[in-house]
A and B are shown apart, each in its own frame.
Chain A
Amino acid sequence: MKFELEALLIEESCRESALARRILAAVAASVAVSYLDDPRAAALADRSASDPFGAGKRRMIVTRKRGGFVTACPAASSKFACCGYLVMNLASNCPMDCSYCFLQEYLADNPGFQVYANYTEAFDELERLGRTGAGRNLRVGTGELADSLAFDDVTGISLELVEFFARQPNLLLELKTKTDEIENLLRVDPRGRTLVSWTLSPPAVFRSSERGTASPWERIAAARRVLEAGYRVAFHLDPIVAYPDAPADYAALLDALFDTIAPERIAFLSLGGLRMTPGLRRIIRQRFAGDLMMVGEEVLSPDGRFRAFTPLRVGLYRAIHERIRHAGVSTPVYLCMEPASVHERVFGSRPGSPGAIGERLAQERG
């Protein structure tokens, strides 16, 4: 992907880091480079900009992460039937700009695009996690506060990650992306320990709401290539937008996916309806006032988020799940950020515990 960077800021103590050197060698000469003793202030929102969040995306900051890298998924809650996902934060923010992205609110005060030069310290945390979780299979992803592969041609982090996880007997790496940035992945052998997942939306949502991403077809084609290179693949239909043509469009998307990748080779599929806190919805209406997909029939739900009203949302989940089942295989499917009652309506059974679901998703073989 080719993203527009305006400035590169490097923390002085990271000047000699491998990451800083790789980035300096890869960015265009036109990008202004500066060095700062403490770049934390540079990550703050520039309130004088017309779009502080958008401006933050164009300002890459190479810095040290102060604090741990691995944490529980921030979306996890006892209100939801969760998937036991662990998050490893190697970067913060994303060069793409999707209307529905929760980072617009989550990182509103710190939108600078930070990448952490001391990311190898995460490997120590992971090794400890692998030892203490002996016997349990854990899925760890880098795609929560950033896209896992956007800018990988600049940072090259995926190479080390895949090689590290290839040596871990009970840890599975999930690289979650909306790009087709897979060239680095094709150079290393994942040994079954890395799963690459793509968020997939129908073309109508892609055109309306996903800026700077690869098209759905490019994502599916990239998935096919990494699958052939020995990676496991998975897909997130998330957010599912309940616009009037959604049932037909999601069915067509699944058909196209299954035509390219046999369903039995897909490790899992996740489904999640469009959800917005009131604050996020306000930001979306300001930043993307013309995006039709963001003014659907959402109402304020008991969990405090705007979601498509329940019969509409659950009906769409059921139609999509039916289409997946119609493909004739038992690819694991789970719901993201939905309560157990919705899970039961869609799948006809109560969900397992987050640990049990996580274990299953980490174990399944593509």
Chain B
Amino acid sequence: MSAVESEAAIRRWAADKHLPDAALARWLALDDAARAAMLAMARELRLRTAQMATALELLEEIELRENRAPGSILESDALRGAIAAGGSAPARASRMLEALRAIRWPRLTRLRAELEARIRGLGLPAVVTVRLPRELSSDELTLELRAHTGAELRDGLQVLQRIGPELVGILERLSGDDEI
């Protein structure tokens, strides 16, 4: 596809999906190869309007943060792996955005993965849930204990007692105790 044909196809996609002007401008600001790659991805993953706008914004910010061409970001293993993995188009679209976010927020992504692994390591029963704050945007840890019977409640409370020290450690990490 020539550059002219590619631009026309992008404009058609944008018009069909009511893509905001600012997002279209971001798309058209990419070099020819990156533009075409985004179009191919939009079709393959059946991206929704908001997903495309988000992807374009993330690409722009990653380009600035890492001084890296959008084409090389789209070619990165992390992104290609997310797109190539199995599953439905919407699931792959979701993974693609998750991969872009991981590149955009590297320290946040590393720390969240570390804390999620610590929570998994607690071996919690189904009645107890430990939730990290969304995007680690606060220092609040949420604990949930669901019980229908006295036995479930007693078991759950014992679990909370057991994991208390580890939860304190997670809270301290959330509070910036160690270098990230």
Contacts and interface: CB of A to CB of B under 8 A. Distances in A.
Interface of A: 247, 289-290, 292, 295, 297, 299-302, 307, 309-318, 341-342, 345
Interface of B: 61, 64-65, 105-108, 111, 133, 135-139, 173-180
A312 B180 contact: yes
Nearest to A302: B138
B180 A315 contact: yes
A312 B135 CA distance: 12
A289 B29 CA distance: 13
Contacts of A295: 61, 64-65
B153 to A, nearest CB: 29
A299 B64 contact: no
B139 A314 contact: yes
Contacts of B138: 301-302, 310
B137 A311 contact: no
Given A292-B65, A299-B108, A315 B136 contact: no
Contacts of A310: 133, 136-139, 174-176
A301 B135 CA distance: 9
A275 to B, nearest CB: 12
A316 to B, nearest CB: 7
B108 A309 contact: yes
Contact of A341 (B107, B108, B139): B139
A128 B123 CA distance: 65
B107 A312 contact: yes
A311 B139 CA distance: 7
Contacts of A312: 107-108, 111, 176, 180
Identify the 10 closest CB pairs spanning chains A and B, nearest first.
A315-B176, A314-B176, A299-B135, A309-B136, A311-B176, A301-B137, A295-B61, A345-B175, A299-B137, A309-B108
B107 A300 contact: no
Given A297-B105, A302-B138, A311 B111 contact: yes
B139 A290 contact: no
Contacts of B64: 289-290, 292, 295
Contacts of B178: 315
Contacts of B174: 310-311
Nearest to B62: A295
Contacts of B108: 297, 299, 309, 312
A299 B138 CA distance: 10
A160 B107 CA distance: 50
